[in-house]
Homo-oligomer: A and B are copies of this chain.
Amino acid sequence: MVLSVQKVKGYVMKIAELSSRSGVSVPSIKYYLREGLLAAGHSTAANQATYDEQHVRRLRLIRALIDIGGLPIASVRAVLEAIDSGSTSLHDAFGSVMHALEPAPLTDSKSEIAAARKAVLAWLRARQWSVKPNAPAIRRLAEAMLTLRQFGFGIALDDLGGVADAAEQMAEFEVASARSQIDRTASVEYMLLGTVVYGQALTEIRRLALEAVSARADKPAKGRRARAH
């Protein structure tokens, strides 16, 4: 289903060591093999096979996507397929990975969402961000903005120019880093990890900032007490 990892044959091991080195239990490894997330080892006999460093790395990638990124198995498979697909263009591979990242599209398509989608598309055009128009991120962003508006948040896409500029700068840095990787697979993997794990890191930083700032606002360092009684 996914598969094909080769190249250097270096050190090989059996499943028990693969398990201990990757931190994934043997039954779970078997499950990932069955599900096509992990390439089969090199068969040496009817019931023997060896695994190598690529398998360790791939397992760690799988766990990162599941544990940190919170992706379901199906998305992990789709993402790995995109990585391993023969797509010549790096960008096509990135695009496939991005599309595979998002959960299934919600079915309800009200006119409100269609309008919000349109607004997002216009915003993207104005920013000269060329993105496939069926990118799941567009709909998700539209839904988020719609929800914020429904709850009375006085915020619109046009207020997010600064944020978008920052995101663009970060993306430029990340893409450049990804492209400097030794091969195509490494580039796509790098980009994937960047998207999912680094994105998660940013989310957590945002939450910590909110907690810290709300603490500061609640009991300012100088002067008045937070609440008298």
Contacts and interface: CB of A to CB of B under 8 A. Distances in A.
Contacts of A95: 211, 214-215
18 contacts: A70-B70, A90-B214, A91-B215, A91-B218, A94-B210, A131-B208, A131-B215, A135-B208, A137-B208, A138-B204, A138-B208, A141-B205, A155-B198, A163-B166, A163-B205, A167-B206, A195-B207, A199-B207
A23 to B, nearest CB: 8
Query: How many identical chains are in the complex?
Result: 2
Interface of A: 23, 60-61, 64, 67-68, 70, 88-91, 94-95, 98, 101, 103, 106, 108, 124, 127-132, 135, 137-138, 140-141, 143-145, 147-148, 150-151, 153, 155, 160, 163-164, 166-168, 170-172, 174-176, 178-179, 189-191, 193-195, 197-219, 226-227
B143 A207 contact: no
Contacts of A200: 140, 144
Given A166-B166, A193-B147, A141 B206 contact: no
B137 A213 contact: no
A124 B208 contact: yes
B98 A144 contact: no
Contacts of A147: 60, 64, 68, 193, 197
A45 B205 CA distance: 50
A132 B218 CA distance: 14
B145 A207 contact: no
Contacts of A203: 199, 203
A68 B171 CA distance: 23
Among A155, A191, A210, the most chain B Cβ lie within 10 Å of the Cβ of A210
Contacts of A199: 203, 206-207
